[in-house]
Structure 1
């Protein structure tokens, strides 16, 4: 006789649950978040505040309530990517647009087609009627309720509606809001820190962008967002950014932005140091003591000791790096590079970090871990005939092997710390892969 395995629920919030929680934070009590029943999914049930709210109308709204905002969840509630406000065709069309460099031609075509389609007469009302996956925000009749949209309106000086994205499960997941006027014009993007780790990231991004603009050094290629507001609302950390978007028809380009990377690296000036004396290596040395997992701490410490023995005395040019420069955090606009998501920005790192991160993350996306491992080994091949040429404009004369190893140690530091909380569970397999790769590169080579 066989026994069926007991299903263990995930130890982290699903994307759907995170979206519902976000709605409750943005429209607090007495507002109620109602979920329209999905006839194809009996597993979720109603996502209200408690048992007393399960007796809802078919529209997911309690009796005696009026709807103040309605959202369509796309593509569906099993895999929610964005909650679009049911407002006007122009609002929906604008909220559907996306400008990341990582979009394939097919994805861009679909986004563009959908954005254009909802503007056609009759399409938007029909979509709002038939879309099965929707969330409604309601308040009791005769009562008003403070909302985050009201707070944003006070900051920006006019009424706004927001589209909401929450992303896949991860330790640094946080809501990102697309703020639009009721007429459908984009006016801001908003980061919201809901828990302490994400509040820290929002504060760090605000500080990084403030430092960038206060440096008062003009850039030739690079464009980054300006901070419109940084503050708090009902315990949330709020960062409001001016929109940074490509000019129509000129944003798609596949080249790696080497000149922009070099420009950012030197934006705050440069210093020289051995790797062992650099600020980023100091952070790595503090990591084992910060880990709760004793085995992983010992493993990280062994890797760190061997990498330091090999490259600690290597002299390197140090500057700034974005911290997460990937195709999906940027776009080309003519000859300019638009770059966002500065929450991992840091100074005192070797020139070349942004390029190594860009190439590793893009390879992981396109070829998986096996392909990314091959890519790194080609970068570090001892036979020059098999080594990938170095982009010296970005490395600025730094030893590529020392930069790659130091970067991988920094990434392992980030991953090991981020994977320990329950929300970091999705990152644990990737962390193990990265530590295995470093083992192979510095302990077994």
Structure 2
């Protein structure tokens, strides 16, 4: 592989969101990127993007040269977006459909390759298009500030605007682990999504590992999918279907001696070896077992990020996406607990202690629908909150940094619950 060509105004040298995204998407050393100037000598342009609205405030990379694909990048799944974002995208989408975006004075990002190097060889979008069997694909990408926990996502469209897929890019240890986990979950789900009440899920179309990146190409959602309201009541039957994966209910087992408890203990021990607060997690796991070790609960899978913004409805059926935190062998009720916790933390802006109380309230209100008695509800709440702190530690340990809303506040909450 030849050395990267330093094209004039290459945005990969920037320290903002545009630099972060272009480094992840256009990582091949042979690719030259330039803004507002011709490709370097010996190169030919293979794609052009509008940087919207400006280099300094970039929010989108919109493909140029195919108005229907440009419009689709703005309009597809717009009903799932917040009202203000939806309005801006709708207005731009109408203009894009008639070719106005191609003529608008947005900065132009030119992607070029040396003569003899094919787009399906060097460009991620080209390789993904080849995996889909599409002769031509156009990729769009959102731009957001650099964040070690976020994954650039390419939206792939055919020239006529048909959505072809979404490619999540894991570029550091934290995001590579998340993309790998989602690919594994989606690979297994087709065997169970036909079970009664199980939500539909997008299929995994392709996956690859290359140059320090893990890429999962996921099927597009149905065009007519609509998001569930943020005040939608818990979908208990769907949560049970996810947990049981088409199988009959599993017999309850005590927390003590379970593989779940052993995993918590092992992760807490690793946290203790790597962070000053890890010893508190070790003590919290021991306290959890002392308090709830004899309580029997059903164990099963969970979605891992069951929240309204990861759920929709299509043709009367629930659809769930973003399975990157999915996993097996957790107490049934974790998805209900997570839904309550995140609604409080994210939607209402409440602190971790208040979000923990929301978990207790939702388990009290709805836990019986999951077969949870009073002792099991207490176990699920305490175990879930500890699981969430360990997730926070895992992401931090993988380079994503600490979530300030959850650390150390959530660990404080866990300790107070065990001492109460």
**TM-score normalised over the length of structure 1:** 0.79
Structure 1 CA distance for aligned equivalents of residues 99 and 358 of structure 2: 55
Q: Are residue 131 (structure 1) and residue 123 (structure 2) matched? A: no
Bigger mean CA offset, 15-24 vs 295-304: 15-24
Structure 2 CA distance for aligned equivalents of residues 344 and 424 of structure 1: 15
Q: How far is 1:233 from its partner?
A: 4.4
Q: Quick one: structure 1 residues 150 and 432, their matched pair in 2 at CA, closer, same or farther if it must change by over 3 Å?
A: same
Instruction: Provide the residue aligned with 2:205 in structure 1.
Output: 228
Preserved contact between residue 100 and residue 327 of structure 1 (Cα < 8 Å)? no
The structure whose RCO (Cα within 8 Å, separation 6+) is larger is 1
SS at match of 2:26: helix
Preserved contact between residue 33 and residue 135 of structure 1 (Cα < 8 Å)? yes
Instruction: Provide the residue aligned with 1:263 in structure 2.
Output: 241
Q: How far is 1:283 from its partner?
A: 1.8
Instruction: Provide the residue aligned with 1:404 in structure 2.
Output: 381
Q: How far is 1:230 from its partner?
A: 2.8
Instruction: Provide the residue aligned with 2:219 in structure 1.
Output: 242
SS at match of 1:368: coil
Structural mapping, 1:42-441, within 5 Å: 58-59=36-37, 61-62=39-40, 65-78=43-56, 80-97=58-75, 99=77, 103-119=81-97, 121=98, 123-127=100-104, 130-132=105-107, 134-140=108-114, 144=118, 146-158=122-134, 159-165=136-142, 169-215=146-192, 217-220=194-197, 222-233=199-210, 236-247=213-224, 251=227, 253-254=229-230, 255-258=232-235, 259-269=237-247, 270-271=249-250, 272-291=252-271, 292-370=273-351, 372-377=352-357, 379-380=359-360, 389-394=365-370, 396-397=372-373, 399-421=376-398, 423-425=399-401, 427-428=403-404, 430-441=406-417
SS at match of 1:389: helix
**TM-score normalised over the length of structure 2:** 0.83
Can you list the C-alpha shifts for 1:153-191, whole angstroms capped at 9, x where unaligned? 221111212112465544443332211112211011122
Instruction: Provide the residue aligned with 1:44 in structure 2.
Output: none
Q: Quick one: structure 1 residues 305 and 177, their matched pair in 2 at CA, closer, same or farther if it must change by over 3 Å?
A: same
Structure 1 CA distance for aligned equivalents of residues 403 and 178 of structure 2: 18
Q: Are residue 29 (structure 1) and residue 29 (structure 2) matched? A: yes
Runs of 5+ consecutive residues of structure 1 not aligned to the other structure: 1-12, 37-57
Runs of 5+ consecutive residues of structure 2 not aligned to the other structure: 1-14
Structure 1 CA distance for aligned equivalents of residues 170 and 305 of structure 2: 18
Structure 2 CA distance for aligned equivalents of residues 14 and 436 of structure 1: 34
Bigger mean CA offset, 227-236 vs 184-193: 227-236
Structure 2 CA distance for aligned equivalents of residues 194 and 276 of structure 1: 38
Structure 1 CA distance for aligned equivalents of residues 56 and 412 of structure 2: 33
Q: How far is 1:301 from its partner?
A: 1.6
Q: How large is the Cα RMSD of the aligned pairs?
A: 3.0
